């Protein structure tokens, strides 16, 4: 692991790091905030998965999480959203919603994407092992949240590993990629046409198929341009109601899809996570 940069912030250290990923076959960059802590102390880890077009940098610069993580004693990790670099296949037209910056947190099975696009295994296995080795982290106390495509990632990963992630929340998540245009484009290209494979990467389908967590927190801006066509929180609301999952869905008047929205409610999410991380 190579250190790209470290900056003192809110009494802790905001770092950016790079490593050669076996999963993606590329160099991957990620950020970690380690709050102030006693020598030798180990801290819980909050995973933040970013949305389409983002790298680790967006939330690192605009997320306003450091003050609260410093107060609550949380390590905050922000991975990239896809493999990048020489030879990594991208969207045929370079569109923003597939390929680079749009890994959708799946292990692709389809050529030419299967070789590099292994963001599921990267985020759930390889990067946690690296974080456990390099930072003062208690891996028995992890939680996960994300935004938009990263909200999709947080929900699907949290629902698949309910014992591993003690809290799961999202900002404006894609709750049912199998039912919306973003997913209709990405899922066949990454996973093929078999809809059974899609269902493992669709929060609503996972819940319909029996996945359970105790509770979920979702914030959704009512002025979000993607709300009606791509996000459809009502589908998650119905699935959770049917399954007995305690979903707190907060529709926030006036808020859009941007980091102005995320940073406004980051504190609420991190406090909710801290309660569940114990």
Cα 205 off chain centre by: 18
How far, in Å, CA of 54 to CA of 255, rounded?
A: 19
Q: CA nearest 128: which of 144, 114, 106?
A: 144
Nearest to a copy of itself of 64, 90 (CB atom): 64
Closest to 268 measured CA to CA, from 233, 219, 220, 225? 219
- 57 belongs to the binding site for a copy of itself (CB under 8 A): no
Nearer to a copy of itself, 15 or 79 (CB): 15
Beta carbons of 149 and 104 less than 8 angstroms apart: yes
Quick note: the x/- pattern for a copy of itself over 81-120, rule CB under 8 A, is ----------------------------------------
148, 202, 269, 273: the catalytic one is: 148
User: What are the C-alpha distances in Å from 205 to residues 61, 64, 123, 196, 274?
Assistant: 33, 32, 21, 10, 28
The residues, ordered by sequence, that sit 6+ positions from 206 with a Cβ below 8 Å of its Cβ are 155, 156, 159, 160, 199, 200
**Of 7 and 109, CB closest to a copy of itself:** 7
Contact 77, 47 (CB under 8 A): yes
Contact with a copy of itself (CB under 8 A): which of 143, 255, 269, 270? 255
Token pair of 194 as six digits: 């078999």
Mask for 188-227, x = binds a copy of itself (CB under 8 A): ---------------------------------x-x----
Taking CB under 8 A as the criterion, the residue among 117, 135, 259, 272 binding a copy of itself is 259
In angstroms, rounded to a whole number, what is the distance separating the alpha carbons of residues 87 and 127? 22
Is 257 catalytic? The answer is yes
DSSP-derived 3-state class of residue 222? coil
Which of 56, 66, 118, 147 contacts a copy of itself by CB under 8 A?
A: 66
- Could you confirm whether 215 is annotated as catalytic? no
Q: Report the nearest approach of a copy of itself to the CB of residue 274 (Å).
A: 18
Q: Pick the catalytic residue from 80, 107, 202, 224.
A: 224
Phi and psi dihedrals of 67, rounded to 5?
Answer: -55, -45
Nearer Cβ to a copy of itself, position 5 or 40? 5
53 lies in the site for a copy of itself, by CB under 8 A: no
| Residue 147 is among the residues annotated as catalytic for this protein | no
Residues near a copy of itself (CB under 8 A) are 7-11, 14, 61-62, 64, 66-67, 221, 223, 252, 254-256, 258-261, 263-264, 267
Point out the residues that are catalytic. Answer: 148, 224, 257
């Amino acid at each position: 692991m190579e250190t790209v940069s470290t900056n003192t912030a809110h009494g802790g250290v905001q770092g950016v790091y790079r490593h050669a990923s076996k999963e993606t076959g590329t160099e991957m960059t990620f950020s970690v905030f380690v709050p102030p802590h006693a020598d030798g102390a180990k801290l819980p880890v909050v995973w933040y998965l970013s949305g389409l077009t983002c790298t680790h940098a967006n939330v690192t610069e605009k997320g306003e999480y450091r003050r609260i993580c410093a107060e609550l004693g949380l390590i905050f990790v922000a991975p990239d959203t896809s493999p990048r670099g020489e030879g990594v296949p991208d969207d045929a037209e370079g569109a923003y919603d597939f390929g680079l910056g749009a890994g959708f947190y799946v292990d692709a099975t389809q050529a030419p994407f299967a070789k590099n696009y292994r963001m599921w295994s990267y985020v759930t296995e390889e990067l946690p092992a690296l974080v456990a080795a390099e930072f003062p982290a208690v891996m028995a106390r992890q939680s996960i949240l994300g935004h938009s495509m990263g909200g999709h990632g947080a929900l699907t990963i949290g629902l698949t590993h309910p014992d591993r992630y003690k809290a799961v929340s999202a900002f404006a998540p894609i709750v049912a990629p199998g039912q919306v245009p973003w997913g209709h484009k990405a899922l066949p290209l990454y996973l093929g046409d078999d809809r059974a494979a899609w269902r493992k990467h669709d929060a609503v389908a996972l819940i319909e198929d029996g996945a359970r967590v105790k509770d979920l927190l979702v914030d959704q801006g009512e002025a979000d341009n993607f709300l009606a066509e791509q996000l459809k929180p009502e589908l998650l609301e119905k699935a959770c109601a049917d399954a007995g999952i305690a979903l707190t869905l907060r529709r926030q008047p006036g808020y859009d899809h941007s980091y102005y929205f995320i940073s406004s409610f980051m504190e609420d999410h991190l406090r909710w996570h801290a309660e569940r991380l114990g």
